[in-house]
Amino acid sequence: METPVARGTVDRCGCHRYMADMNDSVDTLPILVVPDPILKARAKPVTEGDLERVRDLVPRMFQTMYRAPGIGLAAPQVGVGLRFAIVDLQPDDTRAPIVLINPEVVNRSEELATREEGCLSLPGQYADVTRPARVMVRYMDVEGAKRQIEAEGLLAACLQHEIDHLDGILFVDHLSALKRNMILRRLAKELRQKRAEAM
């Protein structure tokens, strides 16, 4: 995706504490690829009893996302059926991690915006997706505090993309059946070729 043009209030309180010790020794996680059924399942809300597990996964998810590379990753993409996701647009090549637990879009603009999207679970596939141009998202941070983000531009698209993942929706589900099927067939062909080359 292109260089971010995003404004709004982003409170990253607490997140850096979980990122501080992240280095090359932090293990990455395997990213699930379509058609894995976990990607189409609705994730369960994170409860208080899940928070420690989420905190343990967060550094590994960021390491996985940065190495991919990507700007967003949802828990179902690494095989975890819980409602949380991470985002980092890395503005000006500076890391600005956000952890969103149980995020929900509480307001969206009538104005729409179209931008090219890709997905780590559909490697190498891209398409133009139309979404609300601005959104307000409420969520909980890793400390359990309630937060809110108002976003537009790339950040708005990224937040909506990751929240879609938590509902079992992929960016190709926003396309016509023709375009979606073309992308899925192309991906399946490329994955078959890679497996054949690896043998």
pLDDT digits 0-9 by tens, 39-98: 999 999 999 999 999 999 999 999 999 999 999 999 999 999 999 999 999 888 899 999
- Summarised one tens digit per residue, pLDDT across range 30-40 is 999 999 999 99
Class of 15-198 in CATH: alpha beta
Q: Rounded to the nearest 10 degrees, how much is the dihedral formed by the CA atoms of 3, 62, 10, 146? A: 150
Two tokens at 174?
């926003």
Can you tell me the distance from the alpha carbon of 132 to that of 152, in angstroms, rounded to the nearest whole number?
Answer: 9
Q: For residue 35, say if its preceding peptide bond is cis, omega within 30 degrees of 0.
A: yes
Active site residues: 162
pTM higher than 0.85:
yes
- Summarised one tens digit per residue, pLDDT across range 96-145 is 999 999 999 999 999 999 999 999 999 999 999 999 999 999 999 999 99
